[in-house]
Structure 1
Amino acid sequence: MPSIELLNIISQYISIYFGLLIFIGGLIGNLLNVLIFLSLQTFRESSCAFYLAAMSLLNIGQLLTGVLPRIMNVWFALDWPDASLIYCKFRAYCFQLCSLASFTCMCIATIDQFWATCSNPRWQRYCNIKFAYRFFLITSFIWILHGIPTLIYQTHTKSVVNGTTRCEIIDSTFDKYYNYGFVLVLTSSLPVFLTALFGSLAYRNVRLLAYRAVPLVRRELEKQLTVMVLVQVVFNFCVIVPYIITYMFNFSVNLDINTIEYAVFQLARNVSINFFYLYFAVSVNY
């Protein structure tokens, strides 16, 4: 059986090297997504492509505020949130805003493809670029307001034992909402459920497009966008569900930090967190 020290070293290596791969690959992939979606006329007129382009920009912000500080903390022992109160609040706020807005774009892109492939014109009218702009601005404003409590309650605390400063939430009620409402619902369970549901419905509609009087160009575009969304949906399920399981296990089981079981769980949790960040790094240009 591996020792606790070995498991901790493996966990550190995963955070550094797998994290670097996610960070560098995610930046390149998301930048390419934005360039492709904004450079081609066909995609510039598509509401689904707009949501995916916006999601790619938000994913870059998430990688900068989520993955990069983790790498710097493990590799160079530089904990920026603990060192600066401004960065403590800024990182927590941007982390919430980018993650919520990114998952919102993914969900509405999946719903948009369901609308676009419906035979009912009543639903198809929502698939236009003007509606996409308005919806994105409204939801972004909602998430901007949603993050205000984070700016208030995410602050520095000093340990009475060793005097070290930590960046953490000081309000117990908001801490419960953050753990259960924000993490387990808004940025994990709810997006997985919505994308899986409407992705399946969009796939069913796409299979029926061949039997409808739909222009060939539009039919192929909708098929291409639906395939992009569906692959993203399947990938999201694979990388987010392990994160949900380990996060819930962390609250339901108390382990002694000096045991091999705790070291194994921390390794599994570290792997699941890195898998979770893969969502923000993966390219949608399949």
Structure 2
Amino acid sequence: MWTTTDFIIFQKTFFSVLVPIIIIIGTVGSILNVIVFSVSKKLRSSSCSLYLIFASITYAVYLNTVALLRLLQVSYNIDPASQWLWFCKLRYYSVGILLMLPRSYMLLAAIDRYFMSKSRQHRFLSYRIALKMIVLTFFFWLIVCVHFVIFYNIKISSNGTNYVCSNPPGSYSTFLSFYSILINGISIPLLMTIFGLLTLHNLKHYRNQIHNNFIILVQRRKKEEWSILRMILIQLIVNVILSLPVTIYLFYNGLTQYVEKSSLRNFIENYIYNMFTLLPYINAAASFYVYSLTSRTFRKELCYLTIHFSTSIKQSIIYHSRALFTHSFTP
């Protein structure tokens, strides 16, 4: 039978193997997302692609900061946040922002698809408006997440053996529980679902009103919109499934903060929380693979760009090789 030491060793080994893999495949996937959505002629024409580009960028930043720091903390007992107060506050401030930014950009993408399904001429559907919304969303979460800077502090852990960076018990812990469940668990997923269903309704309405003179144009429009909308909706489902366990745990932790817990219960809860933190990292790394599996248009554009760039690189290598060969044998 395993002891607590065996469980700790297993968790450290598990983190040290899995988290680097998640960071690598997630970063590569985010880079490919940015390339496809910014270079593809079919996809870059949509203002929605701009939201997906910035969502991919923030996911990559999240993986290479938050996930990396968690790896150092769990696997190697390296935690600067427990030593420096400024780092403690900055870390959780960054976590709060980087958790919400990609979800907010996905929500904006869903809203973009909704307006697109109503009218191509809507003023919301432009790169200029999209950039403004992206910047405003960034500053919005910069302001909203200030509470992490104010309240997070370094304190003695529950077992009394070391220092940890954590939120104080009491009213703020209760607030954080409701903040987590309302913002992360309910509001943004609910809004994305509403706009997704409204968009589907509008697309169905278009299908029922097709006229012979416009059948090709409307079918093409519906196909393109559905391709991007399907990516967003499935990404939403993945997001909710993988984010919900951590959200529920934080809500539970806030509600049970005044309950006297044994050392074994504290160990089990912390152990479960550490394992749950892997799920948001997987979610951050999943977008490219979700898009690839759910959108034929995305796959076709990815294959086209892969062939195009590989051909260009091959031709460049051949050209320089010939130039070098010619130069070497020229007297």
Q: TM-score range by the shorter chain?
A: 0.7 to 0.9
In the aligned structure 2, how far is the partner of 1:34 from the partner of 1:195?
22
Residue 127 of structure 1 is matched in structure 2 by 125
Question: What is aligned with 1:191?
Answer: 188
Deviation for aligned residue 1:75:
1.7
Note the C-alpha offset of 1:61. 1.9
Any unmatched runs of 5+ in structure 2? 293-331
Q: Amino acid of the residue matched to residue 192 of structure 1?
A: P
Give runs of aligned pairs for residues 132-211 of structure 1, distance below 5 A.
132-157=130-155, 164-170=162-168, 172-181=170-179, 183-211=180-208
Q: In angstroms, what is the RMSD of aligned CA positions?
A: 3.1
| Kept after mapping to 2: 8 A contact 1:153/1:171 | no
Q: Could you tell me the percent identity over the aligned residues?
A: 21
84-93 vs 28-37, greater mean Cα deviation: 84-93
Measured after TM superposition, the shift of residue 162 of structure 1 is 6.2
Rounded Cα–Cα distance in structure 1 between residues aligned with 2:189 and 2:27: 23
CA distance in 2, matches of 1:154, 1:250: 16
The answer as to whether partners of 1:184 and 1:244 remain within 8 angstroms in 2 is: yes
- The question of whether the paired residues in 1 share the 8 Å contact of 2:112 and 2:125 is answered with yes
* Greater C-alpha Rg: 2
AA partner of residue 227 (structure 1): R
Q: Tell me whether 207-216 or 224-233 shows the greater mean CA deviation.
A: 207-216
1:43 aligned residue: 43
**Aligned partners of 1:264 and 1:144: how far apart in 2?**
33
**Could you tell me which of 248, 269, 279 is aligned with 2:273?**
269
Q: Which range moved further: 87-96 or 238-247? A: 238-247
For the Cα contact (< 8 Å) 2:177–2:254, is it kept in 1?
no
Where 1:282 maps in the other structure, the secondary structure is helix
TM-superposed deviation, 1:29: 1.0
Residues 262 and 90 of structure 1: CA distance in aligned 2, closer, same or farther (over 3 Å)? closer
Q: Report the counterpart of residue 285 of structure 2 in structure 1.
A: 281
Instruction: Give me the whole-angstrom Cα distance separating, in 2, the residues matched to 1:11 and 1:255.
Output: 26
- The amino acid that maps onto 1:108 is L
Alpha carbons 2:185, 2:240 under 8 Å: kept: no
Please give the TM-score of this superposition, normalised by the length of structure 1.
0.83
Equivalent residue, structure 2, for 1:60 = 60
User: Normalising by structure 2, what TM-score?
Assistant: 0.73
Residue in structure 2 matched with residue 100 of structure 1 by the alignment: 100
Aligned AA for 2:94? C
Aligned to 1:70, what secondary structure does the other structure show? helix
1:50-76 CA-to-partner distances (Å, cap 9, x unmatched) read 111111111122223321111111221
CA distance in 2, matches of 1:245, 1:158: 24
Give the secondary-structure state (helix, strand or coil) at the position aligned to 2:125. coil
Q: In the superposition, relative to structure 1, how do residues 92 and 247 fare at CA in structure 2: closer, same or farther (>3 Å)?
A: closer
Whole-angstrom distance in 1 between the partners of 2:240 and 2:154: 35
What per-residue deviation string (whole Å, max 9, x for no partner) do you get for residues 94-123 of structure 1?
A: 2122222211111111122122123xx399
Q: Deviations over 1:137-156 (max 9, x none)?
A: 22212112223333333333
Alignment partner, residue 15 of structure 2: 15
Partner of 1:69: 69
Whole-Å separation in 2 of the counterparts to 1:2 and 1:69:
27
Q: 1:209 to 1:4 in 2, by over 3 A?
A: farther
The one-letter amino acid of 2:150's match is: I
Query: What corresponds to 2:242 in structure 1?
Result: 239
Instruction: Report if the CA contact (8 A) 2:90-2:149 is conserved.
Output: yes
How many residue pairs are counted as aligned between the two chains?
A: 282
